[in-house]
Structure 1
Amino acid sequence: MSATRRQILARTGAIAAGITFSGAVSELFSGTAAAQGLGRRGYGPLVTDPDGLLDLPRGFRYKVLSREGDPLRSGEGRVPSNHDGMAALPGRRGRVHLVRNHENRATAPIPVPAVPGLTYDPMGKGGCTALELDGRNNVLGERVAIAGTAVNCAGGPTPWGTWLTCEETEDRAGTNGYTKDHGFIFEVDGADPRRTGAVPLTAMGRFQHEAIAIDPGTGIVYETEDAFDRPFGLFYRFLPQKPHGGTGSLRAGGALEAMRVPGVPDLSAVQEPGTSFDRVEWVPVPDPLARETPIRLQDFGPRGITHAQKLEGCYWGERAVYFVSSFARSAEGSAADHYGQVWKYEPKRRRLTLVIVFGPDTDIQLPGESPDNICLAPSGGLMVCEDGGGAQHVFGVTRGGEVYALARGAQALTSAAAAAGGTPEEPEWGEFAGVTFSPDGATMYVNCYTPGTTFAVTGPWE
């Protein structure tokens, strides 16, 4: 979608009702809450925020919880840059532990402060911070949860109440000044970070991690890879030795496997929603640590392995894992073009299904492009952080497939606008990331990536 059309949609509020995705949106929702999900046309038009931060529908309001550059309440330094993936984990007495990634590279303007006992590589600028909130979203504390990691993009919560933060890089020691290899997953306890420390979960693979989702019944961890060049990333599963061991159990190791769809070397070639494959295979990864060769380039035998461009969001919904391919571009090496897909894998049936296709090729008026972070709302709706050009939104999708704008960023980039391709006439806005809901479902938390800002959004949720 062009920035011009996106900006027109943003200025006019023309996120039309009745727009549908191509595909069976009802596949994304399950359970009693989903059956009662939002069935009308969203929450109405967005209202311009006089403070220039976040536009929301009438009746909704936001609170700024944290901003890049402000002092951390712990006194450990400043709030780091590049707010990304996030989870809201339950605490005692109704409190919430909000664990937030910082996708910092070596050139990050504000790194995650190095803290003794919580720092993996002193030269790593990424990591996580943790906010402690009371039941009214008042910030009681804010501290470093892990430091010395790199390019912490997304991740996912565990059934035992911790966060798995993922490094989206394959840089080795000696690259970009790093003193240790990167490309790992780390477990973070938002309530007590020293319980988990800064220990890489090496058996889960070293690659350009994006997100994870855990099957609570089996303990299997599903992982997406957002590789930046050909051949693109893989979809993995990790079979832990201690599948229900709780905090720290993933350090015991396990087996890493990659998904093979027979006859489908590239998922972008599949264009028709509802297409299913019933004989999905899982192939052992030859060298999970990628000592000599990146995993996606390793030898998986004469039948090869299945790749996909921009594998990002990942979540578990009752009996299936869903994962997102944000886009595919044949000019960059994909088999075909698309503006975003959602795939569903059912472990018991070994079945993979293309559920949803996003974007202009579906409907010229559809405002969906490049879905990134994605989550299910407690009321049964789907929330999508869009990562494209121009105006940036958090979109909701009803059970009936109608798209509506729930939030629009109002913080136009200034000094970074030129680098992002923006102009005074057609500015760029910081993307949204880390959308998640409080354990009681009353608050939606979401980040603006840059300038790094964490919001708590409340209102008349259905």
Structure 2
Amino acid sequence: MLRTTVVGAGAMALPFTAWSAAYAAPAQNATGPYGPLQSANSHGIQLPAGFTSQIVARSRQAVPGTSYVWHDAPDGGAVFADDSGWIYVSNSEVGPSAGGGASRIAFDATGAVVGASRILSGTDTNCAGGRTPWHTWLSCEEVSRGRVWETYPFGGTAVARPAMGRFKHEAAAADPVRRVIYLTEDETDGRFYRFVPATWGDLSAGTLQVLVAGSATSGPFTWANVPDPDGSPTLTRRQVSGAKAFNGGEGCHYADDTVWFTTKGDNRVWQVNLASGTYELAYDDSLVSPGSAPLTGVDNITGSGSGDLYVAEDGGNMEICVITPDDTISVFLRITGQSGSEITGPAFTPAGDRLYFSSQRGTSGSSSGGITYCVTGPFRT
């Protein structure tokens, strides 16, 4: 099983009594839960029957219904529930002189845009990130000794969180059970970290830890403190002997005592089983059968209420693929005519019937050509 089933507080994982002795095979090709893709629609997107798409915003153009100009190179994103609708937050993966940072679009309960604005400015190459249970967005700088910035979609001034480490940050995922934040690192020998705040809900102080494990693709793991989260003069990933290296850490998602993260250098999705203290592969493109691997260039990842994982491609065939809890993988959507781009920022609305995401460089292949979409349909919730 790709995810652990839990019943009640403190319940044991099912159906296995000892996860450390039972690893599932990585996901294999199968017919998707929504059926085959249809012909490309007017937006150049192939979707299963019953699903529709719309363009929400374009880089360097005002978000429809507002005067706010959408940022270049839209990347990692998340949705936040609002009293009257929801907010979609998106990073801008460009440098500070080109408008790097993050923006928000507010929607009413019908999905109509009711506002848009900037929530972070002057930062460097903000790639992915993650939302917190206290409704802030962690925007991560993907540069050497980059920072995590805590931003406030509902109002407030963004602030850097250096205690979370200075390294080439990619994504973050909050675990409200263990009260930690998991962090990926986009280096060919990157590490997988967690930040343990001194006080849950306050990221100004705490302990940065790194995952320690063997060289295999499955097994037990432990956490070790990183002595100097500032990463200077010794880089954080080089400070702890035995810290497991991962080839190009990307997206990260937590649910049900499990955290998943992707590594683009080897096209893998890793599954960390937190209740049992073990890790394994949820997907590996070199182990897929029958036929060819549907998912390459693995990048951002999110999950639905049903437990399905949605993984976006950086390149590949410009697809979002779905990995189901019964270890199958299939293509959910494909963007055509945009081979010079990548898919970024997938995130579901609270009801689970809308999926937001972006094509970072759109049809132009340039950061100024980004397009942010919404797909609506009968998602499994």
Measure the CA separation in 1 of the matches of 2:371 and 2:128.
16
Which digits, 9 at most, give the CA deviation of each residue in 1:299-318, with x for residues without a partner?
x3xx4422111112211112
1:374 to 282, 287, 301: 301
Alignment of 1:119-130 (within 5 A): 126-130=100-104
Alignment correspondent of 1:295 = 236
1:67 aligns with 2:36: no
Pairwise CA distance, 1:190: 1.2
Which structure is higher in helix share? 1
Contact 1:137 1:456 (8 Å CA) reproduced: no
2:343 to 432, 440, 459: 432
1:98 aligns with 2:88: yes
Alignment correspondent of 2:35 = 44
- Of the structure 1 ranges 47-56 and 436-445, higher mean CA displacement relative to structure 2 is found in 47-56
Pairwise CA distance, 1:429: 4.2
Contact 1:213 1:316 (8 Å CA) reproduced: yes
Alignment correspondent of 2:154 = 191
- CA distance change for structure 1 residues 40 and 309 in 2, over 3 Å: closer, same or farther? closer
Q: How many residues align?
A: 350
- CA distance change for structure 1 residues 169 and 141 in 2, over 3 Å: closer, same or farther? same
Structure of greater Rg:
1
Measure the CA separation in 1 of the matches of 2:105 and 2:5.
30
Which digits, 9 at most, give the CA deviation of each residue in 1:52-83, with x for residues without a partner?
4322122211121111110256646x322111
2:251 to 313, 319, 337: 313
Measure the CA separation in 2 of the matches of 1:50 and 1:440.
25
Which digits, 9 at most, give the CA deviation of each residue in 1:432-451, with x for residues without a partner?
11111001111111111112
1:240 to 197, 200, 205: 197
Measure the CA separation in 2 of the matches of 1:295 and 1:455.
36
Alignment correspondent of 1:420 = none
Contact 1:327 1:341 (8 Å CA) reproduced: no
Pairwise CA distance, 1:96: 0.5
Which digits, 9 at most, give the CA deviation of each residue in 1:117-168, with x for residues without a partner?
xxxxxxxxx1101000112221111111101111111111111122111111
Q: 3-state DSSP class of the match of 2:105?
A: strand
Q: 3-state DSSP class of the match of 2:307?
A: coil
Query: 5+ unaligned residues in a row in structure 2: which ranges?
Result: 8-13, 15-29, 363-369
Measure the CA separation in 2 of the matches of 1:294 and 1:40.
44
Which structure is higher in strand share? 2
Q: Aligned AA for 1:84?
A: D
Contact 1:340 1:370 (8 Å CA) reproduced: no
Q: Aligned AA for 2:40?
A: D
Alignment of 1:89-238 (within 5 A): 89-93=80-84, 95-105=85-95, 111-112=98-99, 126-170=100-144, 183-192=146-155, 195=156, 197-227=157-187, 229=188, 232-238=189-195
Contact 1:234 1:308 (8 Å CA) reproduced: yes
Q: Aligned AA for 2:268?
A: G
1:362 aligns with 2:292: no
1:341 aligns with 2:269: yes
Measure the CA separation in 1 of the matches of 2:229 and 2:246.
19
Pairwise CA distance, 1:250: 1.2
Measure the CA separation in 2 of the matches of 1:28 and 1:163.
25
Output the TM-score relative to the length of structure 1: 0.71
Which digits, 9 at most, give the CA deviation of each residue in 1:11-62, with x for residues without a partner?
xxxxxxxxxxxxxxx2236469xx9xxx973322222334243221222111
Pairwise CA distance, 1:260: 1.3
Measure the CA separation in 1 of the matches of 2:315 and 2:3.
22
Measure the CA separation in 1 of the matches of 2:6 and 2:346.
21
Output the TM-score relative to the length of structure 2: 0.85
Which digits, 9 at most, give the CA deviation of each residue in 1:90-138, with x for residues without a partner?
0112x1111101111368xxx33xxxxxxxxxxxxx1101000112221
1:83 aligns with 2:46: no
RMSD: 2.3
1:276 aligns with 2:219: yes
Query: 5+ unaligned residues in a row in structure 1: which ranges?
Result: 1-25, 113-125, 171-181, 329-338, 413-427
Pairwise CA distance, 1:458: 0.8
Measure the CA separation in 2 of the matches of 1:74 and 1:147.
19
Alignment correspondent of 1:331 = none
Q: 3-state DSSP class of the match of 1:129?
A: strand
- CA distance change for structure 1 residues 217 and 169 in 2, over 3 Å: closer, same or farther? same
Measure the CA separation in 2 of the matches of 1:460 and 1:446.
17
Contact 1:52 1:411 (8 Å CA) reproduced: no
Contact 1:74 1:143 (8 Å CA) reproduced: no
Q: Aligned AA for 1:90?
A: A
Q: Aligned AA for 2:353?
A: A
